[in-house]
Amino acid sequence: MSRLPLEGIRVADFTWVWAGPFCTLQLAHLGAEVIRIETASRPCITRQILPWPEGKPGINRSGYFNQYNQNKRSLSLNLKTPEALDLAKQLVTKSDIVSENFAGGVMDRMGLGYDVLKQLRPDLIMISLSGYGATGPEREHISYGPAQVPMSGLSSLTGYKDWPPMHVGISYGDPNGGLHGAFAVLCALMYRARTGKGQYIDLSQWETSTALVAEGLLDYSMNGTQPARDGNHDLYMAPHGVFRSSGQDRWISLAVRDDEEWQRFCAVLGRPELAADPRFVTLAARKQNEDALEAIVTEWTQARTPEEANAQLQAAGIPAAPVMNAKDLATDPHLNSRPLFVYNEHPEVGVRQHIGVPWKLSKTPLPVRPAPTLGQDTDYVLRDILGYGETDIAGLRERQVLT
Amino acid sequence: MTERALEGVRIVECGQNVAAAYAAKLMADMGADVIKIEEPGRGDLARHRGPYPGQVPHPEKSGLFLYLNTNKQGVTLDLRQAAGREIFHRLLQDADALIHDYHPTEMASLGLDYAALEKINPRLVMTSIAPFGLRGPRTNDQATDLTLWSAGGITYLNGGGPGTDDMPPLKPFGQQAGYQAGVNASIATLGALFARLSTNEGQHIEISTQECLMSILEFTFELYPYMSIFASRLGQKPIQPLDFLECKDGWIFLCCVEEHQWRNFLEVMDNPEWAGEAIFADRVNRGANWDALKPLLQDWVQDQSVKELYDKAQARRVPIAPVSTMGDLFDNAHLKARGFFATIAHPIAGSLQYPGELYKFSETPWTIRCPAPLLGQHNAEIYGRIGLSSTEIDSLRQQGVL
């Protein structure tokens, strides 16, 4: 088998919830050995919430945890004991990367700050993915992914016209922090490969989400004004939106990109007379008469299913897509024809459909192993990486170090 | 001078709008040399989207383009002409990676698929970002940011709300599908470049934007394979409070994920009497009775100022957040102290503030070396470097190749 891109790179992973684990998931997908440091006395929140098969909770049964910790290992360590802290430090000396996403200052107080760890491993790369970052007056503030959406400015620009600010449907701050964090670690690895030097990376989830509001920020920077919320509309395309389809709570999204596409759209609607209608013939006219335009579009879309509308629009080369829910995605023929979904046997939830790696590398296919049960790899780490014997391990276990 | 993290990495980027441009921007800002290829005359579509000063369109003043293309060099090249493709091949000969988001049918029809380009440079990492990937029944479908966000499963989770079921599912501001595909592409590309340090082999990376979006569905995708149910925008209240409330001078987002956070928030509110009612006893009850609870909270919050409430609540470890406007972000003392915004001077658009340093590297800081390129700004320099004389460059320009 071909060598994986990050084969031989080890991550001592102190992260939890979503942002941090999503960062290390990317590294694990690329072949790094990611060792989660966990404790049964305070398990990750994602181990404690649904979905659970048959509605039955269990520390190893959550689909949330099992999705975002694929390809990783789990070491159970109760860091409240001095012996466990010492074991964590030993693991750091054998690791290339340390990752954490506590609030600012927590790792330092545990004695695991970068200043300490780099003494143990001079070429260490360490990344902190906190809500607010490791510097600045609010560095010790507490933050959750859902709150990053409003903080980033995205909510003040998202929403229907004349409605309150709105969310985006997911805790968007978390994956943004995680993905940008994975990119940052890879940059540091490239630099280390060239120079032998490690470094510390301070990432703020707030900032990595704010970066994706750039058009609004540049507008303000240029014009000093806050862009208005405007639903699903687009300044440069019309019609552009999500329209009701036949069926309960079913919708189709579509976009007409230019005047020529509008002509084709009229043919799809079966309304050739609209092609010459001065209310709609140019983008400016369509934007001016957008309410009337959308009424016409809705008349057509609500008479068919999203799939039917999609097929007709795509046949005419017009961008469209049904608004898909989890069931639509899980059962979609296109997605199921691709190597995206993975079906692994997991000891407590059996075979479940998970989303695997959203990128395909032609020469290094990326295998996916199921997420670890809590403490699953404790013996492996102590024995094979840290060199402990069975008696030592039993002693540590007896002294509640490995819980 | 400090060495940059990606110093010496050479990237060629071609595409439109956000995805490929954002992937290459992330790399350029960390020190990679990026050559951005644009269509002669028209240039990247992002140049035609704005925002613009005074909202007057100008291809050198689009805020979207200016943001996405910092630290890059720009050339024009018509890949539809054979002479253009020949020059493209020469650019790729000493490149480490090609990142593009041209539609799959378009790229193949130009003979610019990986099988062809690998022959030009076997060490090349080629990253193709496509709406639905490069294989499967929907491969050739047309898409925009809006339709991809819907196909990725996120639109279905947002908008409307109790009593407003007639409102359609809602997209977020901006071109978020493009950004997500872009950051995924940057990770996969660097992964392949890191692998190449030991294998010395290039490879082809396929990125499906739809799949990148699915991979950030939080736990809502697994609800289906684990419990045969699916989430929608109409049932978003399992744990509360997690909602927007209006203060006297703006909006806040109240977020009490854990029980102690709720208790602390009650103390911030001076323990109102209604808080003792059983229907608000725990987060499940607060969620189920959110319609009754929200007006009570809103009533109290409306007399507060955003800043004071934020400070008071954060002092009690309640993860409340302001709903930042653009002006709030530029004025924010924390972001200022961290130096998040960068002021970048551009010869035509002038000096503007941009979102800047995304992460603080202790050894190889994020840097701005130059603003986004003007259309064709580096033609003479780049084409000269691959051996074209100024006469050849002039002649190619006249033929519309450059």
Helices B176-199 & A173-195 angle (0-180, nearest 10): 20
- CB A219, CB A225: distance < 8 Å: yes
- B242 pairs with which residues across the strands? B255
Q: Where does residue B10 rank: exposed (0-12), middle (13-18), buried (19+ CB within 10 A)?
A: middle
Q: For residue A343, what are its two tokens? A: 């079906």
Q: Which amino acid appears at position A305 of this protein? A: T
Indicate if A174 belongs to the active site: yes
> In the 3-class helix/strand/coil scheme, how is A109-164 assigned residue by residue?
HCCCCHHHHHHHCCCCEEEEEECCCCCCCCCCCCCCHHHHHHHCCHHHHCCCCCCC
Distance to chain A for B295, nearest Cα, Å: 15
Residue-wise pLDDT for A9-39, tens only, equals 999 999 999 999 999 999 999 999 999 999 9
Closest CB to B192: pick one of A5, A199, A324. A5
Q: What is the dihedral of CA B133, B136, B141, B143, to 10 degrees?
A: -30
Chain B residues whose CB is inside 8 A of the A195 CB are 3
Which of these ranges, A49-58, B96-105, B231-240, B342-351, has the smallest mean pLDDT? B231-240
- CB B346, CB B320: distance < 8 Å: no
d(CA A242, CA B171): 9
A3 and B206 in contact by Cβ < 8 A?
Answer: no
Q: Confidence band (pLDDT; 50, 70, 90) for A3? A: confident
A150 and B321 in contact by Cβ < 8 A?
Answer: yes
d(CA B179, CA B240): 30
Residue in the structure block whose two tokens are 């098969």:
A53
Mutate to test the interface with B, among A167, A176, A268, A368 (most CBs of B within 10 A): A167
Q: Identify which of A31, A92, A170 has the alpha carbon closest to the alpha carbon of residue B152.
A: A170
Mutate to test the interface with A, among B52, B145, B218, B357 (most CBs of A within 10 A): B218
Instruction: State what percent of residues in chain B have pLDDT above 70.
Output: 98
Chain B residues whose CB is inside 8 A of the A69 CB are none
pLDDT at B195: 96
B136 and A338 in contact by Cβ < 8 A?
Answer: yes
> In the 3-class helix/strand/coil scheme, how is A221-270 assigned residue by residue?
HHHCCCCCCCCCCECCECCEEEEECCCCCCEEEEECCCHHHHHHHHHHHC
d(CA B252, CA B309): 9
Q: How far is CA A291 from CA A243, A286, A297, B15, in A?
A: 12, 9, 10, 33
Residue-wise pLDDT for B181-214, tens only, equals 999 999 999 999 999 999 999 999 999 999 999 9
Q: For residue B354, what are its two tokens? A: 């941009």
A334 and B54 in contact by Cβ < 8 A?
Answer: no
A51 and B223 in contact by Cβ < 8 A?
Answer: yes
- CB A328, CB A336: distance < 8 Å: no
Instruction: State what percent of residues in chain A have pLDDT above 70.
Output: 100
Closest CB to A319: pick one of B144, B192, B229. B144
Helices A290-301 & A259-269 angle (0-180, nearest 10): 40
A186 and B191 in contact by Cβ < 8 A?
Answer: yes
Which of these ranges, A114-118, A316-320, B239-243, has the smallest mean pLDDT? B239-243
CA B145 to chain centre: 11
Closest CB to A151: pick one of B61, B321, B352. B321
Q: Identify which of B154, B209, B254, B210 has the alpha carbon closest to the alpha carbon of residue A170.
A: B154
Closest CB to A180: pick one of B322, B352, B359. B359
Q: Confidence band (pLDDT; 50, 70, 90) for B2? A: confident
Closest CB to B63: pick one of A198, A222, A364. A222
Q: For residue B129, what are its two tokens? A: 């970002």
For A323-369, the DSSP string reads ---HHHHHH-HHHHTTTTEEEEEETTTEEEEEE--SEEESSS----P
CB atoms within 10 A of CB A345: 9
Cα-atom radius of gyration of chain B, to the nearest Å? 25
In this complex, how many residue pairs, one in chain A and one in chain B, have their CB atoms less than 8 Å apart?
487
pLDDT for A1 beyond 50: no
Exactly one of A174, A258, A291, A332 is catalytic; which is it?
A: A174
A37: Cβ contacts below 8 Å, ≥ 6 apart: A12, A13, A14, A75, A77, A79, A88, A91
Instruction: State what percent of residues in chain A have pLDDT above 90.
Output: 95
d(CA A44, CA A47): 5
Residue in the structure block whose two tokens are 């010496």:
B8
Chain A residues whose CB is inside 8 A of the B224 CB are 326-327, 329-330, 353
pLDDT at B235: 65
Angle (nearest 5°) at CA B185 between B181 and B186: 120
pLDDT at A343: 97
Q: For residue B201, what are its two tokens? A: 């082999």
Angle (nearest 5°) at CA B282 between B279 and B287: 70
A46 and B185 in contact by Cβ < 8 A?
Answer: no
Average model confidence (pLDDT) across chain A? 96
- CB B136, CB A338: distance < 8 Å: yes
pLDDT at B258: 86
- CB A317, CB B119: distance < 8 Å: no
d(CA A80, CA A63): 28
Q: Confidence band (pLDDT; 50, 70, 90) for B237? A: low
Closest CB to A144: pick one of B64, B154, B255. B255
CA A30 to chain centre: 16
Chain B residues whose CB is inside 8 A of the A192 CB are none
DSSP A55: G
DSSP, collapsed to helix, strand or coil, labels residue A36 as strand
Chain B residues whose CB is inside 8 A of the A159 CB are 170
d(CA A142, CA B50): 35
Residue-wise pLDDT for A315-342, tens only, equals 999 999 999 999 999 999 999 999 999 9
Chain B residues whose CB is inside 8 A of the A295 CB are none
Q: For residue B79, what are its two tokens? A: 């890949």
Bond before A5 cis per omega within 30 degrees: no
- Tell me the average pLDDT across B227-234: 90
pLDDT at B238: 65
Distance to chain B for A71, nearest Cα, Å: 15
Residue in the structure block whose two tokens are 């943004």:
A176
For A3-30, the DSSP string reads PPTTTT-EEEE---TTHHHHHHHHHHHT
Average model confidence (pLDDT) across chain B? 94
Q: Identify which of A317, A240, A227 has the alpha carbon closest to the alpha carbon of residue A286.
A: A240
Distance to chain B for A139, nearest Cα, Å: 8
d(CA B243, CA B374): 43
Q: Confidence band (pLDDT; 50, 70, 90) for B161? A: low
A242 and B170 in contact by Cβ < 8 A?
Answer: yes
Q: Identify which of A22, A9, A366 has the alpha carbon closest to the alpha carbon of residue A190.
A: A9
Cα-atom radius of gyration of chain A, to the nearest Å? 25
pLDDT at B236: 59
